[in-house]
Structure 1
Amino acid sequence: MAAGKKRSEQHLIDQDGIALLRSKLPRAWVLREYRPDYGLDFTIEPFKDASGTGATYETLGEHFFVQLKSVADPAVHKLDIYGRGNVEKAPEELNRADKVATIDSYRLQLEMSELVTIERMGIGVPVLLVIADLARQRCSFVCLNDYIDKILIPQHDDYRTTKSRTIHVPLWTELGSAAGTFGLRWYAKRAKLLAAFQRFTYQYSELQWHEHEDWRGLARYFGERIVQYDFWDDTEMCAPIPYHAAGLRRFLATGQPGYFKVPADIEPGVDPAEWKAYFEKLDVFELWRSLSLLPKTYEDVWREWFLPTALGQLASAPG
């Protein structure tokens, strides 16, 4: 009798890996298969508790991709992390005298076609490589968009010259842990943060252009537009964002964000009203200057969070 279709062991491992991934996500989040599959296996959509009791949940309008690799019993390797300079300004140069940490990691070979596809996507929507470790019932992740930009490209004259590259996935980025949950929420907000950052730089430029006109009216209009963003109160893992949210709300409530105080000692010969007006204007402009610097910090620092680099380890690893 002719044999029928068969399921391989890897098919069963993949099935178990999907189940493990689902079990590690918050219960209200939605995991969707992404088909046909050209390197992206799933999309994840976070939801928040809309009632405060867990009775209903509301979508945040956030999404990220997942490439899932399920392994029955993956080896765990030690990875030495060394200090280095800003790789946005120069190729990677490790300081072997500055050993920041030794971490546990998974090693996985990814085909160059997968990496190039993700590089072409840009950074707007993160693609997280998730290792489903069935032996330890653990899922850990790393952001491939950022791994390519912050590790592979700085390490090589052209990282595309081989058929594959080794990706190191830190074990401490474990789904279900505090660090892992922060990481997923942070990456999910990327598209809306990048869009807001673009608006902040535009608004600051326009305020400067109109500084001899009705700049205060323009600032109030700008502030009323951006205060509506929902991430102000949902990004506690990144302290500058709620800090500037408070300044923005003070400005809309009182007319001043409160970054600068009007000095009590007035320069000789200066009109007190002009002195006060000057520092009040400086105060408002400082709010928008600070907002316009957020994308720089994002590129220089925050995109290395949760990566196996010195900055990623120091800035986002637990304990």
Structure 2
Amino acid sequence: MSDRAKRRAPQHLIDERGIALLKRLLPENWVVREYRPDYGLDFAVEVFEDASDQYPQTLGEHFFIQLKSTESPKVGKLNLHRRGNVEKGREQLDDEPSMSIDVYSLSLEISELVTVERMGVGLPVLLVIADLSRDKCVFVCLNDYVDKILIPRFEDYRDANSRTIHLPASNDISTTVGQVALRWYAKRSKLFSAFQRFTYQYSELNWEKGGDWRSLAEHFAQKIVRYDFWDDVEMCPIIGHYRDGLRRFIETGQPGLLERSIPLVDVKTFEGELDDHLRQVDVFLLWQGLSVLPKNYEDVWREWFLPTDLGQAMSAPPEER
């Protein structure tokens, strides 16, 4: 008869240390909820306001984490090559690398990647490696990795048992850059909803161009000015640019974008039929710009923090570029 009781496997202890490290490095006022049973998602994270407030409020922003803890991660160099827009065709890489970055490498089962792909891209799933030897956690957005790297790179990325995922070493959640990245990902579903409304409003304004377009624009402005992300997007200045135009439109009747793009134009002093037309152009420039934000998001912003030439050129810390 065996007198041996149940034992704890070494990986269980490593996993517990990784969980503790992750929670220690995330902002203390954020809420980390463990998912059980686990089908590829380990944690759901809810983002709250700055901890300087005694009673921080939830921002209604969330993302998922798939955590892999290790004492001996694989870290090495990865050559990156310039490439075309992978939304318009298969990946075509330049022959010569444009840069080299330090990356963590991890093999993920195809079932894990397919699960993330099925979720779509609206709510980010971050793969996080807890590097216990260096006391750091690094991340990459799996939804974007599948969509922007695996699908355009392979005929069918699912025809293997697993795929190697590269996580830029600069994607460290304990750094300022890392914290900004997590906040940016958490806003994704909120931004996607706003983008849908922006394109709808611009289309409807164009239908009303020959009628009472100003009343419609004023109504639309009051709807979208309520979004709470306007003052929390320092990581994306172009959104702040249109926020300022939106607020000027509400306050003065003109967003002032035309005079900023053509300095000699002063829409505030216009009189007559031509002047009315220029005032209309000024307002429509605001909604045209808002409606282009989804294109920017798809073409550029979803590659931020990925191990691609564009992703690193646009989002990596200066010393890593």
TM-score normalized by structure 1? 0.95
User: 3-state DSSP class of the match of 1:96?
Assistant: coil
Alignment of 1:94-243 (within 5 A): 94-97=93-96, 99-243=97-241
**1: CA distance, partners of 2:195 / 2:296:** 11
**2: CA distance, partners of 1:78 / 1:118:** 26
What residue is the counterpart of 1:11 in the other structure? 12
**2: CA distance, partners of 1:111 / 1:264:** 58
Distance 1:237 1:3, change over 3 A: same
Deviations 1:213-262 (A, max 9, x none): 11000000000000000100001000111110000000000000001139
User: 3-state DSSP class of the match of 2:8?
Assistant: coil
User: 3-state DSSP class of the match of 2:27?
Assistant: coil
The answer on 1:32 being equivalent to 2:33 is: yes
What residue is the counterpart of 1:268 in the other structure? none
**1: CA distance, partners of 2:48 / 2:271:** 52
Alignment of 1:78-89 (within 5 A): 78-89=77-88
**1: CA distance, partners of 2:298 / 2:107:** 26
The answer on 1:315 being equivalent to 2:298 is: no
**1: CA distance, partners of 2:29 / 2:283:** 40
Distance 1:264 1:287, change over 3 A: closer
Distance 1:285 1:78, change over 3 A: same
- Deviation, 1:264, is 6.4
**2: CA distance, partners of 1:58 / 1:237:** 21
Q: Which amino acid aligns with 2:102?
A: D
Runs of 4+ in 1 over 3 A off after TM superposition: 261-265
- Deviation, 1:101, is 1.6
**2: CA distance, partners of 1:133 / 1:294:** 36
Q: Which amino acid aligns with 2:5?
A: G
User: 3-state DSSP class of the match of 2:81?
Assistant: strand
8 Å contact 1:49–1:56 — kept in the other structure? no
Deviations 1:88-109 (A, max 9, x none): 0111111123x33211111111
What residue is the counterpart of 2:59 in the other structure? 60
- Deviation, 1:181, is 0.6
**1: CA distance, partners of 2:45 / 2:71:** 23
**1: CA distance, partners of 2:82 / 2:50:** 40
For structure 1, list consecutive stretches of 5 or more residues without a partner in the other structure: 266-270
8 Å contact 2:62–2:123 — kept in the other structure? yes
**1: CA distance, partners of 2:248 / 2:215:** 15
- Deviation, 1:159, is 0.7
User: 3-state DSSP class of the match of 2:102?
Assistant: strand
For structure 2, list consecutive stretches of 5 or more residues without a partner in the other structure: none
8 Å contact 1:129–1:141 — kept in the other structure? yes
8 Å contact 1:91–1:154 — kept in the other structure? yes
**2: CA distance, partners of 1:108 / 1:264:** 55
**2: CA distance, partners of 1:96 / 1:20:** 40
User: 3-state DSSP class of the match of 1:40?
Assistant: coil
User: 3-state DSSP class of the match of 2:138?
Assistant: strand
**1: CA distance, partners of 2:50 / 2:257:** 34
What residue is the counterpart of 2:292 in the other structure? 293
- Deviation, 1:49, is 2.9
Deviations 1:153-190 (A, max 9, x none): 01011111001100001110001111111110000000
8 Å contact 1:62–1:189 — kept in the other structure? yes
- Deviation, 1:5, is 1.4
Q: Which amino acid aligns with 2:133?
A: A
User: 3-state DSSP class of the match of 1:230?
Assistant: coil
- Deviation, 1:77, is 1.0
What residue is the counterpart of 1:43 in the other structure? 44
Number of aligned positions between the proteins: 311
**1: CA distance, partners of 2:50 / 2:9:** 40
**Once superposed, what is the RMSD of the aligned Cα atoms?**
1.5
**1: CA distance, partners of 2:158 / 2:74:** 26
User: 3-state DSSP class of the match of 1:130?
Assistant: strand
Q: Which amino acid aligns with 1:95?
A: D
Q: Which amino acid aligns with 1:304?
A: E
**1: CA distance, partners of 2:198 / 2:227:** 12
8 Å contact 1:227–1:248 — kept in the other structure? yes
Q: Which amino acid aligns with 2:6?
A: K
TM-score normalized by structure 2? 0.94
What residue is the counterpart of 1:259 in the other structure? 257
8 Å contact 2:74–2:106 — kept in the other structure? no
Distance 1:264 1:48, change over 3 A: closer
